[in-house]
Amino acid sequence: MSAPPGRRRVAVRHRRTYGPYVVLGALDSAARAQPGQFYMLASAERWGGGEGERPYLARAVSVMAVADDGLTEFLLEDVGPGTRRLCEAQPGEELLVLGPLGHGFGAPGADVAPLLVGGGIGVAPLVAVQRAWGGTAVLGFRDGDHARGGELFDEPLIATDDGSAGHHGLVGDLLEAELAKQRRPVYACGPPAMLDDVRRRAASYEVASQLALEAPMACGFGACYGCVVATVDGYRRVCVDGPVFDGALLA
């Protein structure tokens, strides 16, 4: 299904917090996102005039989950003037949205339970993946407070950098153990260093990896060419050629 070709206003239905993370739910009556797709989000009021007279551009935000009635949820973390303003949004307040955008994850084969590897705010699209297709979530967070993001998953395995929850170490350690037990396709989203590690481990076990990339974007629909990533075929736009890429295609 194509996205409507313009920005729309949708009201925030609910706002929940999980440690430092904020989940915003909004009803999109015009479209249903697939796991891995994203929207460009801005607040309808007071967008701009924050730190450094920002934000100005909308922010690309992964879809965390979509219900059958179109209730679409986003996971946010305050990391700058744009996400700060979005995190402040309260029920009833309107967002300006464009989407759903980009190519999402491909479905796993029948009876295949994938490994879902997420780091930090990058766990967001994997919630939708687990709800659609199941699979084992293997999640890495900075600390125990951030690890509350794991509450969004069914029976996750958790690693933290400081050891305050779950395994003390990197999510890659947990992934390695799971792959050694059973080879299965990997779905991942997280910081660049984590994704690099994930696709190397997947390649060494000869399993497919689908990686959802993040990149600053001005538009989200292929106009600005600002969000490119290096692939074996040269630069590709994360917004229209991704955000989900086959790990084997990344340079």
Q: Which residues bind other proteins (CB under 8 A)?
A: 2-7, 42, 48, 52-58, 96, 98, 101, 215-219, 221-230, 234-235, 237, 240
| Distance from C-alpha of 246 to C-alpha of 102, rounded to nearest angstrom | 14
Give the nearest distance from C-beta 30 to other proteins in angstroms. Answer: 11
* Residue among 64 and 229 whose Cβ is closer to other proteins: 229
- Exposed/middle/buried for residue 56 (C-beta within 10 Å: 0-12, 13-18, 19+): middle
Least distance in angstroms from the C-beta of 223 to other proteins:
5
Nearest residue (CB) to other proteins, 71 versus 240: 240
70 φ/ψ angles, rounded to the nearest 5 degrees = 95, 0
- Least Å from the CB of residue 250 to other proteins: 13
Alpha helix locations (H) across 89-237?
A: 124-133, 171-181, 192-204
CB of 133 to other proteins, least distance (A): 24
Q: Which is closer to other proteins, CB of 26 or CB of 58?
A: 58
Residue closer to other proteins (CB basis): 6 or 92: 6
Task: Kindly tell me the sign of the dihedral angle through the C-alpha atoms of 132, 135, 136, 139.
Answer: negative
Give which of 124, 148, 141 is closest to 20, Cα–Cα.
148
Distance (Å, whole) CA 237 – CA 97 = 20
- Which residue's structure tokens are 């949004």? 89
Segment 164-171 long-range contacts (CB within 8 Å, at least 24 positions apart)? 165/141, 170/140, 170/194, 170/197, 171/117, 171/118, 171/119, 171/138, 171/139, 171/140
The least CB distance from residue 204 to other proteins, in Å, is 27
Q: Compare residues 113 and 218 and give the one whose CB is closer to other proteins.
A: 218
Place of tokens 């990997």: 186
Tell the smallest beta-carbon distance from residue 224 to other proteins (Å).
5
Closer by beta carbon to other proteins, 28 or else 178 = 28
